[in-house]
């Protein structure tokens, strides 16, 4: 099995600015990609609260993204809310040279 199996190139390093998010669609997945302190995080772009596709436009603070619709917050690394419930799916990110790749087989949260 290839180390890059399941990964898709979604953009280049310059496409996502520091402390901002950007939306990408890979197959049937809508992904929010964030860059914080030089590290990239990929989460589902669809908030579980009302299934609104706005996570990429959320406010970033202290390792969390806040949904702009109703303020729900999610950990950038785990996708979980602070109390550990109703989170976002996360995706593994790899940076190869100037390209950002995301594993489109999402890591589902266990309930």
Say if 110 falls within a structural domain.
Answer: no
Contact 40, 33 (CB under 8 A): yes
Closest C-alpha among 37, 31, 26, 40 to residue 77: 40
Q: What is the pTM of this model?
A: 0.89
Say if 67 falls within a structural domain.
Answer: yes
Residue 89: domain span: 7-103
pLDDT score of 42 more than 80: yes
Say if 83 falls within a structural domain.
Answer: yes
pLDDT digits (tens, 9 = 90+) for 79-107: 999 998 879 999 999 999 999 999 987 55
* CATH number for position 87: 2.102.10.10
Say if 39 falls within a structural domain.
Answer: yes
Q: Which residues, 6+ apart, have CB-to-CB distance to 111 below 8 Å?
A: none
Contact 22, 33 (CB under 8 A): yes
Total structural domains in the chain?
1
């Amino acid at each position: 099995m290839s180390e890059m199996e399941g990964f898709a190139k979604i953009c280049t390093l310059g496409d996502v600015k520091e402390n901002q998010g950007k939306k990408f669609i890979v197959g049937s997945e809508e992904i929010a990609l964030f860059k914080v302190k030089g590290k990239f995080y990929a989460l589902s772009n669809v908030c579980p609260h009302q299934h609104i596709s706005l996570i990429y436009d959320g406010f970033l603070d202290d390792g969390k993204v806040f949904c702009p619709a109703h303020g729900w917050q999610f950990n950038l690394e785990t996708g979980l809310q602070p109390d550990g419930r109703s989170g976002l799916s996360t995706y593994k990110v790899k940076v190869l040279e100037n390209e950002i790749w995301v594993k489109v087989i999402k890591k589902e949260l266990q309930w």
